[in-house]
Structure 1
């Protein structure tokens, strides 16, 4: 008879929220996070006598902006206060984005370096439709770090 393995409960990224901190200061929990990633920019080179292909040489890493969205709530004031501080002098900073399960257990954390705000978009306030008022915060960054010494 074959061995049967019992599957254990595993936290997965289903129904998660994203807790965001900038230099250790909480900006609250967001319901969506887009843009976490990295792209290796390649430079193509053709070599004489090498007729079976083109060399693809890596040149640099490119990081897309991260867009965080949520319904308006308590954390909205935290974002406004942080943006007010940033307006006094733009300084690149560090940030963490932690994916949490619905029970609040940490699933994974991304540590970003060189973070600067790109855009904050508030809700369209109108009484014509009953939509949830949302905000979006867009951040640029210069890559990931392991969290040690930053």
Structure 2
């Protein structure tokens, strides 16, 4: 493995969604896990509190890219999920994020299990600035596995 690994070379894939356009993102963030704790006082001893572990908490996965056609399969899944009003079951997918080396081989891969979109937005539209419209997709998931 090359150290330190560059953060700019990564690839994404979504189960059931194919196409290079739906895998090209300029930014991925929110790869985070922490164990929540609960403080419990010891009866009669006020000098400290025990910190007991609870469930693992995961941040949402946030992906950013230049906005694509609304016909994008990924965009359609997101909009469908966010606008259904929970009339139908949410369709979850696995998302794979791989950090790549110079030979396009994965240095490490994160598999986000049972992911589903929880937020979609586009950047502000400004008539006096020359830039691209950025689409931000945010996903909740049950857990992730690193390989």
Question: What's the secondary structure of 2:144's corresponding residue?
Answer: coil
Q: Which has the higher strand share?
A: 2
What is the aligned residue count? 139
How do 1:1-150 and structure 2 match up within 5 A? 10=2, 12-26=4-18, 27-48=22-43, 53-72=48-67, 77-83=72-78, 86=81, 89-101=89-101, 104-145=104-145
Q: Which runs of 4+ in 1 moved over 6 A?
A: none
The alpha-carbon deviation at position 10 of structure 1 amounts to 1.6
TM-score (norm 1): 0.73
Going from structure 1 to structure 2, the CA distance change for 1:91 and 1:103 (only over 3 Å counts) comes to same
TM value normalised by structure 2: 0.74
Cα shift at 1:78: 3.8
In structure 2, C-alpha distance between the alignment counterparts of 1:136 and 1:56, rounded to whole Å: 36
Distance 1:35 1:79, change over 3 A: same
What SS class does the counterpart of residue 99 from structure 2 fall into? Answer: strand
Q: For residue 145 of structure 1, give the secondary structure of its aligned residue in structure 2.
A: strand
- Residues 70, 110 of structure 1: alpha-carbon distance in 2 compared, 3 angstrom cutoff: same
Question: What is the alpha-carbon distance in structure 2 between the residues aligned to residue 114 and residue 123 of structure 1?
Answer: 27
Q: Residues 10, 146 of structure 1: CA spacing in aligned structure 2 closer, same or farther, 3 A cutoff?
A: closer
Which range moves more in the overlay, 98-107 or 22-31? 98-107
**3-state SS in 2 of match to 1:132:** coil
Where does the alignment leave 5 or more consecutive residues of structure 1 unmatched?
1-8
Q: Distance in 2 between matches of 1:139 and 1:19?
A: 16
Q: Deviations over 1:61-106 (max 9, x none)?
A: 11111111122358x8242233356457412232211223465332
Q: In angstroms, what is the RMSD of aligned CA positions?
A: 3.1
